[in-house]
Structure formats: structure tokens, C-alpha cells
Amino acid sequence: MIGLLAVLFLFLAVVGYLIGTYNGLVQVRAAVKLAWSNIDVLLVQRHDELPKLVEVCKQYMQYEAGTLERVMRARAGVDAARTSGNVASLGAAERELRAGLTGLYAVAENYPQLKASEPFRHLQERISGLETAIADRREAYNDAVNTNNVRIASFPGVLVAGMGNFPEAQLLHFQPEEKADVDLQAAFSR
């Protein structure tokens, strides 16, 4: 009888441990999705602000259509990567957008009335604030992904992850050329 109780207790302990492990994996998977969603919210906000900035600039910069078009193309690229959830292509699209915005701000230097306009300053500050928040959220996303990937690769998570649907999440990282500083001299010479 005591042996049967010991076996039953051991069985319940193992089942409880596996249930706890499974629930822990569900939590970290949800944390990855939440972190991505938090980035997505800011990307959408920035996406909505960029046309306003371009519109304000058009009023002052009649001869800079190429710069404005570059920003809008880059905006579309970021939106496509965001919508598809393609973490890998988001880095390249973000780099192109940063370069386009740097070029836009550089060209705006030639238009003192534009720089002095309240709508331009407000939008520039808003977009810069969103850029900072996006960078912070990227860090939180990568932390969540790292926690997820460690949990599903360690024992006993690896066993439970193998039986359930717990794939590794993809870190948001950038290629060396995507991390390089934007060439301001090239931006100012456009």
C-alpha cells in the first residue's frame, strides 16, 4: 500500500511538473507575442505620422520630391515587413527608413521656414520619440525571445516543447551594414 502511494505520489509529481513546464512555455511564448505587438503598435503610429511629415515638407520643398519619395518607399517597406511579421526583413526596412528620414532632415536644413514651422517641429519630435520607443521595445522583444528560446532548449522544456507547438522565436537583429551610422555627408549632398 505504501509502495502504491509512493508511486502515485511520484506520478502526480511528474505530471504536475510537466504541467508547470508546459504552462511556463505558454507564458514565455505569450511574452514574445506581446513584445512584438508592442513594437507593432509603435510602428503603426510612426507609419501614420510619416505621411503628415511628408505633406508638411511638400509645402516648403517643391524641388525635393526624390527625398520625399524615398521616405514613403521606406515607409511602405517597413509596413510590409511589419504586416507579414517578417522579423528578418524588418531590420533592412528600418535601416532604409532611418536613412530616408536622415536625408529628409538634412534637406530640411536648406529650408529655414520649414524648420521653423510648428507642424514640422512637432512631427519631427513625435517621430524621434517614436524611434526611441521602438528601440526600447526591440530590446524588450529580444529579451522575451531569449527567455523563450532558453526555456524551450533546456531540460525538461525541450521535452515538452517537442511534444507541443513551441518553436524557437527569431531575435530581431541587424546586419553590420544596417547598424552602421548613416552617412550624413551623403545625406547633406543630395
Tens-place pLDDT, residues 69-107: 888 888 898 888 888 877 778 878 888 888 888 888 888
Residue 184 is predicted with a pLDDT of 40
Q: Residue 179 above 60 pLDDT?
A: no
* H-helix or E-strand spanning residue 140: helix 118-153
CA–CA dist 71, 53 (Å, integer):
10
User: 128 in a domain, yes or no?
Assistant: yes
The pTM (predicted TM-score) of the whole model is: 0.69
Of all residues in the chain, what percent carry a pLDDT higher than 90?
Answer: 10
88 is a domain residue: yes
In this predicted model, what pLDDT tens digit does every residue of 135-167 receive, in sequence order? 889 889 999 999 999 988 888 888 888 888 888
Alpha-carbon span 29 to 149, nearest angstrom: 9
Q: Is the pLDDT of residue 177 over 80?
A: no
What's phi and psi for 67, nearest 5 deg? -65, -45
93 in a domain, yes or no?
yes
Q: Name the grid cell of 104.
A: 529628409
- Phi/psi region, residue 141 (left: phi>0; alpha: psi -120 to 50; beta: rest), is alpha
Tell me if 10 is assigned to some domain. Answer: no
Rounded Cα distance between 162 and 152, Å, is 8
Does the residue 81 lie in any domain? yes
What are the phi and psi torsion angles at 65 (to 5°)? -60, -35
CATH number at residue 33: 1.20.1440.20
Into how many domains does the chain fold? 1
Residue 175 has pLDDT above 90, yes or no: no
- Predicted confidence band of residue 31 (pLDDT cuts 50, 70, 90): very high
All 3 cell numbers of residue 105?
532632415
- Residue 119 domain-assigned (yes or no): yes
Average pLDDT of the chain?
82
Does residue 62 form part of some domain?
Answer: yes
| Residue 15 located in a structural domain | no
pLDDT attached to residue 181: 46
Give dist(CA 68, CA 50) in Å, integer. 10
Task: Tell me the C-alpha distance between 122 and 49, whole Å.
Answer: 10
Quote the domain boundaries for residue 91.
26-188
The pLDDT assigned to 62 comes to 67
